[in-house]
Amino acid sequence: MTDKQIFEADGREIAFAVEGAGPAVALVIDSGAELESLATLSHLVSAADFRVVRLQTGTAADVFAVLDHLDIADAWIGGHGTGGVVARAAALETHERVNGVLLLGVEAGAPELSGGIPVLVVQASDDETTPSANGDALRDSAPGVVSVVTIPGGGHRFPETRAGETAWAIEDYLDWD
Predicted confidence (pLDDT) per residue in 74-97, tens digit: 999 999 999 999 999 999 999 999
* pTM recorded for the entire structure: 0.95
C-alpha dihedral sign at 86, 72, 65, 14: positive
Q: Which domain holds residue 135?
A: 5-174
**pLDDT cut 70: percent of the chain above it:** 98
Q: Is 10 helix (H, G, I), strand (E, B) or coil?
A: coil
> What does the pLDDT read at residue 117?
95
Say what the pLDDT of residue 176 is.
57
CATH of the domain at 67: 3.40.50.1820
* pLDDT bucket at 116, cuts 50 / 70 / 90: confident
What does the pLDDT average to over 25-47? 96
SS3 112: coil
User: Of 14-23, 42-51, 106-115, 119-128, which range is least confident?
Assistant: 106-115
H or E stretch including 17?
strand 12-19
Diameter of the chain measured on Cα atoms:
42
Express each pLDDT in 38-69 by its tens digit.
Answer: 999 999 999 999 999 999 998 999 999 999 99
Domains in the chain: how many in total?
1
CA distance linking residue 146 with residue 118, whole number of Å:
6
Provide the pLDDT for residue 1: 55
Confidence of residue 177 (pLDDT cuts 50, 70, 90): very low
Tell me the C-alpha distance between 31 and 95, whole Å. Answer: 23
pLDDT in tens, 127-149: 999 999 999 999 999 989 999 99
